[in-house]
Structure 1
Amino acid sequence: MDHRSIGELMSRNVVSVRLDTPFKEIARALSDDGISAVPVLDDEGCPVGVVSEADLLHKAANRSDMSGRTPLPHLEAWERARAEGVVAAEIMSAPAICARPQWTVVEAARLMADRHVKRLPVVDETDRLLGIVSRSDLLRVFLRRDSAIHEEISRDILTRTLRLAPSAVMADVEEGQVALHGAVDDEHTVAVLLRLCGSVDGVVAVSEDLKHPPEETGRTESAGRRGTS
């Protein structure tokens, strides 16, 4: 099966900053380019952290409210140091959580969910920045046409992988939802079909109405009767 890689989905024109980039220059970059975060690069072009709008807002939240209505938030020492920072190295969230270009959408999505981040810098084998992938980039796989999903399931899964006859199992695809119907040899084949179809890029859900012979229980029962005296 063909899975789109992170290298295909990532944005290559990445706005980045250096460790010594001043606070206001970072804020200007976010505003001018309509983005919500930038990777911070070292002298070798490797991401060492990320500065997001949330990181910059720490400074606003740490300032006194002249009206007196809102008390200063309680911050740990490291949080206060970041709130008082003036360059990227002092403000950024570190270390940078990165992806590789050969990763699948599943791998990147799991890392984002596990680390609670919205984007991943993408780096090569030397850890130099290649691009950046966001949650919206990953969601682009669900824009895949139903016809392309149907073709992959019919060609790669039903015919090449499981070697099923064209008339044995058919797949209907509508809005990314796959409905399988037909007949297979056993329940195991049903489970394999559901798993494989669910892993196809662009699939939202898989349902089945597949007929198969019932489990053979006669052999076990007769063996049990022969064992009694």
Structure 2
Amino acid sequence: MTHTVVAVGSEAPFKQIVEPLGQWKVSAVPVLAGEGRVVGVVSEADLLAKEEFRGRGDLLKVFLRPDEEIAGEIRHSVLGRLPSTDSLTVEVTDGVVTLGGSLPDRTLVPVAARALRAVEGVVDVRLDLTHR
């Protein structure tokens, strides 16, 4: 038991749920709504039970990557493999990637989206793209 209670809001994004688990080395956090009313509990076991996380190793380590590190990997590993990506911009906030700019061909949009989602630490992908 701990004297400090760490909780998350019911509208918290995924990364804000995962962060206290790693930072405080706890296995679960209460979920609060409204004026501090407990509406549930999220545990690491709940997250690992989700099909998309099975077999992915240390869940916390993956989702606690700094945004700058994720953006750097995207610029180097993902954009470096796509043609004509000079005009693309990458922003990462709380693990959510926003890719903006122009691609030479619209068929590259789903390719880029899949490649972004494959980067460890990416929680979601938002595309603000045009094609030439």
TM-score between the two structures when normalised by the length of structure 1? 0.33
Q: How does 1:87-98 map to 2 (within 5 A)?
A: none
**Counterpart for residue 30 of structure 1:** none
Q: How does 1:162-181 map to 2 (within 5 A)?
A: 162-166=82-86, 168-181=87-100
Root-mean-square deviation (CA, aligned residues, Å) is: 2.2
SS in 1 for 2:121: coil
Q: Deviations over 1:183-202 (max 9, x none)?
A: 01222111111000001000
Q: Is this contact kept in 1: 2:106–2:130, CA < 8 A?
A: no
Q: How does 1:74-93 map to 2 (within 5 A)?
A: none
Structure 1 residues 193 and 165: CA distance shift in structure 2, 3 A: closer
**Counterpart for residue 108 of structure 1:** 55
Q: Deviations over 1:37-87 (max 9, x none)?
A: xxxxxxxxxxxxxxxxxxxxxxxxxxxxxxxxxxxxxxxxxxxxxxxxxxx
Over the matched positions of the two proteins, sequence identity in percent amounts to 37
SS in 2 for 1:187: coil
How much has 1:106 moved relative to structure 2?
5.6
**Counterpart for residue 116 of structure 2:** 197
- The one-letter amino acid of 2:71's match is H
SS in 2 for 1:182: strand
SS in 1 for 2:119: coil
Which aligned segments of 4 or more residues in structure 1 are displaced greater than 4 angstroms? none
**Greater Rg, structure 1 or structure 2?**
1
How much has 1:210 moved relative to structure 2?
0.4
**Counterpart for residue 158 of structure 1:** 79
Q: Where in structure 2 are there 5+ consecutive unaligned residues?
A: 1-51
Which is strand-richer, 1 or 2? 2
TM-score between the two structures when normalised by the length of structure 2? 0.55
- The one-letter amino acid of 1:145's match is P
1:207 equivalenced with 2:100 (yes/no): no
Count the aligned residue pairs: 82
Distance 1:145 1:182 in 2: 23
Q: Where in structure 1 are there 5+ consecutive unaligned residues?
A: 1-104, 110-132, 214-229
